[in-house]
Amino acid sequence: MSNSILSKSVLILNTNYSPMDICSAKRAICLFYNQKVEILESYREKVHSPSISLLLPSIIKLKNYVKNNNMEVILSRKNLLIRDNYQCQYCLSKKAPLTIDHIVPKNKGGEDSWTNLVIACQNCNRKKGNKTLKQSNMDLNKKPRKPNKIQYFQKFIKSEQNSWKPYLFMESM
């Protein structure tokens, strides 16, 4: 099995169809074989191994209801990149290496939070340094917010994930 196929994103729904999480196809297949989930939608690709032949899952639904559906998105470098579209929030460059900038610098009391961290290209990060926005005379593309999980899931949708849309309130069923 090719690894790129197995790393495709799979949407996990609770028993009541509310979106819960995103996992890799590899994990989804494990959950399926452990009878934790049913497969609602599949990609076109098939996965083969000596013992299985299965269409690659794209949406799975849990068999047992999970009560604590935490809709918080964890603050991490990867999730900041997703929120900020892999773009410097000062100049909109997508040029690697992208860094994380503290809007209010750490040494001025700025904390690690969704509203104080943005993705910045190396140039802008260097230019801003340990200054505040005002001192550096720089502007943000948009006010950074804490993402909600639905918006966050929506960012995973490419043309291949069109079948996710009804579950993420992007079109009617």
Q: Footprint of Zn ion on this chain (CB under 5 A)?
A: 88, 90-91, 93, 121, 124
CA nearest to 13, candidates 44, 37, 42, 45: 37
- Smallest separation, CB 128 to Zn ion (Å): 9
- Smallest separation, CB 123 to Zn ion (Å): 5
In DSSP terms, which residues pair with 102 in a beta bridge? 117
Which CB, 42 or 125, lies closer to Zn ion?
A: 125
Which CB, 79 or 93, lies closer to Zn ion?
A: 93
- Smallest separation, CB 120 to Zn ion (Å): 6
Which CB, 97 or 109, lies closer to Zn ion?
A: 97
Which CB, 90 or 153, lies closer to Zn ion?
A: 90
- Smallest separation, CB 130 to Zn ion (Å): 17
Residues 94 and 87: beta-carbon distance below 8 Å = yes
> Count of CB atoms within 10 A of residue 66's CB?
14
Dist. CA 127–CA 148, nearest whole Å: 31
Place of tokens 């200054």: 131
